[in-house]
Amino acid sequence: MFKDVLDKLLKGEYSARTIRKAHSQEKKIRGVKNVPHYDLEETARRKLEEILDGGVQYKYARETLIALQYCSNHHHYLTDALLIDDIVSHKRITFNNYLKTSTKEQK
């Protein structure tokens, strides 16, 4: 589940600005949150330390992975653009305008 997001993070597809913006969305996520495995969290923490030029705690790494996963699975109800794509494009984000992408669309 988090493997694809972590792979993109490790490949350097996300800038520091994108990571910070995605992380800021995490506190808005309601309902049951899937939590990444500790090994994935540790790998993400090390990579985030490189990108953000500083010490990153496990909590920040976990929240960032949760937010990136969420952003990769939700699209805007009008434009159909993924939340992560809008964040990367530096668009204004209105969190409630993004809907869950169906499993049919993910395939």
Q: From CA 19, how far away is CA 63, in angstroms rounded?
A: 11
pTM passes above 0.85: yes
pLDDT tens track for 5-19: 999 999 999 999 999
34-69-13 Cα angle (round to 5)? 150
Q: At what angle do helices 58-72 and 3-10 cross, to 10 degrees?
A: 110
Report whether pLDDT(28) > 80: yes
Task: Please say whether the beta carbons of 76 and 96 come within 8 A.
Answer: no
Residue 58: other Cβ atoms inside 10 A: 12
What residues have CB less than 8 Å from 39, skipping those under 6 apart?
A: none
